[in-house]
Structure formats: C-alpha cells, structure tokens
Amino acid sequence: MRRGMISWLKLIISKNSVVQQEEIDYQSFLFLKKVFQNKKIKIKGTGLSMWPTIKEDQVIEVEVIPTKQIKKRIKKESIIAYYSIQEKRIIAHRVVSLRQKKHQLIFITKGDNVGGEDIIPVLPKYILGLAKI
C-alpha cells in the first residue's frame, strides 16, 4: 500500500469520516472511492464557490457512487463531489448540464456563487458521489 493511501485512511477514521480538504493525489482519491463505495462520508467544505448552499467549513455528506452507476444516478441540478486533477482536491459543485463528447458522458459544473461554468468538464471517473445538503 502506498504511504499516501494509509495516511488518508487514518485521517478519515480519526476525524469521524470528515475528509479534510488538503491536497491528495489521484491514486489516493481512487482508494478513497473504492473503500467507501456505496457508503456515505463527510467532507468539510472550503471556499465560497457554493455559498449560500454550502458555507465555509460546513460539513457535507457525500454518498460515494460506483462509476458504473453515475450515469443513472446523477442528473442536472445534482451537487456532486469530484476530484480535480488541477487542484488536487475534492470539489463540490452543481451539475448544470450533461453532454456527450466523443461517446463519453461529461458533466458541466458550476459553483452557485460563481458567474460562469467551470472551465474543465468532469468525467464520470473523477466523480466521488452525490453531495447531500
């Protein structure tokens, strides 16, 4: 097991399943998704992009969804938690549209408190799950 994966597992258990918004690598994200598949975890919100829906330091519950179920479970207006490769952290934003691109479903997201859509669409493999507010 990689060292980063072990520290993430310790962090989740030691904080009553609250995942701190610190930098994580993609392998640790995949490990988190696999271990908590079909379960609920709690993530602490950071920033103001989803204000007032999600407030700074608010703890949100995320139902971890297997990648194969994402297409039927996530709809327009859902709030999803997903891994951002650019920021190396988990982000919760609202789905504003779903599109097909080269036979691949992509999710267009936006923070409720942000003027426009997120620049980079979200692929199903990066989605952790549905956020419950």
Instruction: Give the start-to-end residue ranges of the domains of the chain.
Output: 3-132
Of the CA atoms within 13 Å of residue 7, those in its CB half-sphere come to: 10
Q: Token pair 């490990």 is at which residue?
A: 31
Contact 76, 98 (CB under 8 A): yes
Q: Which residues contact 78 (CB under 8 A, 6 or more apart)?
A: 94, 95, 130
For 3-132, CATH gives 2.10.109.10
Full-model pTM: 0.86
pLDDT digits (tens, 9 = 90+) for 2-31: 444 444 444 444 445 566 667 888 988 898
